[in-house]
């Protein structure tokens, strides 16, 4: 078995004459231009033109742009067999069908599927509300596990730990907006970041310890932010995006895996010979040094992309009210009660305004003009960024939050997971059923 690493969660596994690709993301500037690879792929000679497209199976873990990149998927034939997890809703399948893919196989979590030439795959679905999945590929007694950024149940990880994994790719870095975008006082923010980073690394150690791979590779992160305005998010003290070399060192010191492995873009692991370093020396410099140079180099392209962003739809105010009114009204009273939030939206720009989405309202109206003084969660965002989600041009609202181009606030300062779930996937049946048993 040979496994080539292409950054983030992308691996190409060659075994038994088959090529199985996972989560290809070959562009830069996902999520409204914010997310770049840990190292820009082109710096390692990886471009859509040079990337292998003669693959046999494509596994997609979930719909996040750093795992499912529409521009990248256009390089693959429509009848390519896609492997996805069977989630509670057909959201991912429908999205892929909408892109023109015709051979989508939804596999139940934990069920092994034998492919050709003795190669088998098992997809494991997340324990969380969000859609996400990991994959195990087996051939001729060699086992490769790619966790992507999926949080698996303890039982699934224990099962993986009983299988004698040879190679495992593990999430190790934060990849969202908390706590950096919440406007905390300096000392509070620094402490929250420190604690979050510590938790992320502890979790990595626990998952590696449980699954017991011979070789453990930190992967699926970190998000790299090259926009000069947001560059501070890469700071080790101010952001939760962990340097993979730090994760390797943590694994080494903890002794939870016999071989912690750092793999850069284009490096290969071979089951017979081990690591084959292919990444150029130019991307093996210390991360902060690389990032400063990359940010300066990419700044003109980022500025041009910003300048080319579409203006907001002039009807944004009415579109926004209708959008949230319909979504909240469609929820069951029990789900609304569980969310129990007053979501304040402060939309800046020519077509902006202020609204509060009130889940505590008895109805029938759930959206009010203005910011209620007792809002519980506030999002401040530019009109041109939220507009495509209201027009239907963009469908995954969390992508807006992952752009890191908003400011958030909470009062009281506690995480409201039901509200997050609503913003992630407001499917009434899924949301209701999730909380009916919790």
Is residue 176 involved in binding another protein (CB under 8 A)?
Answer: no
DSSP H or E stretch at residue 303: helix 287-307
First to last CA, the chain: 42
Query: Judged by CB, which is closer to another protein: 164, or 199?
Result: 199
Minimum Å gap between C-beta 414 and another protein is 5
Residues 336-395 that bind another protein (CB under 8 A): 338-341
Distance (Å, whole) CA 35 – CA 27: 10
116 in Cβ contact with 18 (< 8 Å): yes
The torsion defined by the Cα of 161, 212, 39 and 309, in degrees rounded to 10, comes to: 20
Please tell me the number of Cα atoms within 13 Å of 250 on its side-chain side.
23
Query: Judged by CB, which is closer to another protein: 188, or 301?
Result: 188
Minimum Å gap between C-beta 159 and another protein is 13
Residues 280-339 that bind another protein (CB under 8 A): 338-339
The contact mask relative to another protein for 402-421 (x = CB under 8 A, - = no) is ------------xxxxxx--
Site stretch for another protein (CB under 8 A), options 13-21, 54-62, 201-209, 363-371: 201-209
Backbone φ, ψ for residue 197 (5° rounding): -65, -40
24 in Cβ contact with 357 (< 8 Å): no
Residues whose CB is less than 8 angstroms from the CB of residue 68 and which lie 6 or more positions away in sequence, other chains included? 23, 25, 60, 61, 62, 92, 95
Residues 102-161 that bind another protein (CB under 8 A): 127-128, 151-155
Query: Judged by CB, which is closer to another protein: 23, or 156?
Result: 156
Query: Judged by CB, which is closer to another protein: 85, or 298?
Result: 85
Report the 10 Å Cβ neighbour count for 273. Answer: 9
Q: Which of 199, 237, 318, 411 binds another protein (CB under 8 A)?
A: 199
Query: Judged by CB, which is closer to another protein: 60, or 205?
Result: 205
343 in Cβ contact with 384 (< 8 Å): no
208 in Cβ contact with 216 (< 8 Å): yes
Minimum Å gap between C-beta 261 and another protein is 23
The contact mask relative to another protein for 205-224 (x = CB under 8 A, - = no) is -xx-----------------
Query: Judged by CB, which is closer to another protein: 160, or 341?
Result: 341
- Positions touching another protein (CB under 8 A) are 127-128, 151-155, 196, 199-200, 202-203, 206-207, 338-341, 414-419, 435, 438
């Amino acid at each position: 078995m040979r496994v080539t690493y292409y950054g983030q969660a992308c691996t190409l596994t060659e075994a038994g004459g088959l090529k199985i690709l996972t989560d290809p993301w070959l562009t830069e500037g996902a999520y409204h231009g914010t997310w770049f690879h840990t190292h820009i792929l082109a710096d390692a000679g990886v471009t859509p033109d040079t990337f292998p497209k003669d693959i046999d199976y494509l596994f997609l873990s979930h719909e996040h742009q750093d795992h499912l990149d529409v521009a990248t998927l256009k390089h693959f034939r429509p009848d390519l067999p896609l492997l996805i997890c069977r989630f509670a809703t057909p959201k991912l399948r429908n999205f892929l069908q909408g892109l023109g893919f015709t051979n989508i196989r939804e596999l139940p979590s934990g069920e092994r599927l034998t492919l050709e030439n003795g190669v088998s795959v098992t997809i494991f679905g997340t324990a969380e509300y969000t859609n996400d999945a990991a994959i195990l590929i087996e051939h001729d007694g060699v086992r490769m596990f790619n966790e992507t950024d999926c949080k698996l149940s303890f039982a699934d990880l224990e099962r993986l730990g009983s299988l004698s994994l040879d190679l495992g790719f593990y999430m190790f870095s934060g990849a969202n907006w908390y706590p950096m975008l919440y406007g905390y006082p300096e000392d509070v923010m620094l402490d929250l970041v420190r604690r979050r980073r510590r938790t992320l690394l502890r979790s990595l150690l626990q998952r590696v310890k449980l699954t017991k791979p011979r070789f453990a590779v930190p992967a699926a992160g970190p998000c790299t932010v090259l926009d000069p305005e947001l560059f501070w998010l890469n700071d080790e003290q101010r952001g939760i995006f962990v340097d993979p070399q730090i994760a390797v060192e943590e694994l080494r010191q903890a002794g939870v895996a016999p071989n912690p492995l750092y793999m850069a873009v284009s490096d290969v692991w071979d089951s017979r010979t081990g690591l084959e370093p292919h990444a150029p020396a130019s991307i093996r410099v210390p991360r902060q040094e690389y990032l400063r140079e990359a940010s300066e180099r990419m700044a003109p392209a980022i500025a041009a992309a910003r300048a080319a962003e579409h203006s907001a739809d002039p009807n944004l105010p009415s579109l926004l009210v209708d959008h949230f009114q319909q979504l909240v009204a469609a929820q069951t009273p029990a789900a609304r009660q569980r969310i129990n939030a007053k979501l304040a939206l402060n939309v800046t720009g020519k077509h902006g305004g202020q609204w509060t989405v009130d889940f505590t309202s008895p109805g029938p109206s759930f959206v009010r003009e203005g910011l209620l003084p007792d809002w519980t969660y506030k999002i401040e965002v530019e009109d041109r960024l939220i507009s495509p989600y209201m027009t239907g041009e963009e469908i995954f609202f969390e992508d807006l939050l992952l752009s890191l181009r908003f400011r958030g606030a909470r009062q009281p300062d506690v995480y409201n997971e039901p509200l997050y779930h609503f913003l992630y996937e407001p499917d009434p049946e899924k949301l209701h059923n999730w909380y009916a048993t919790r």
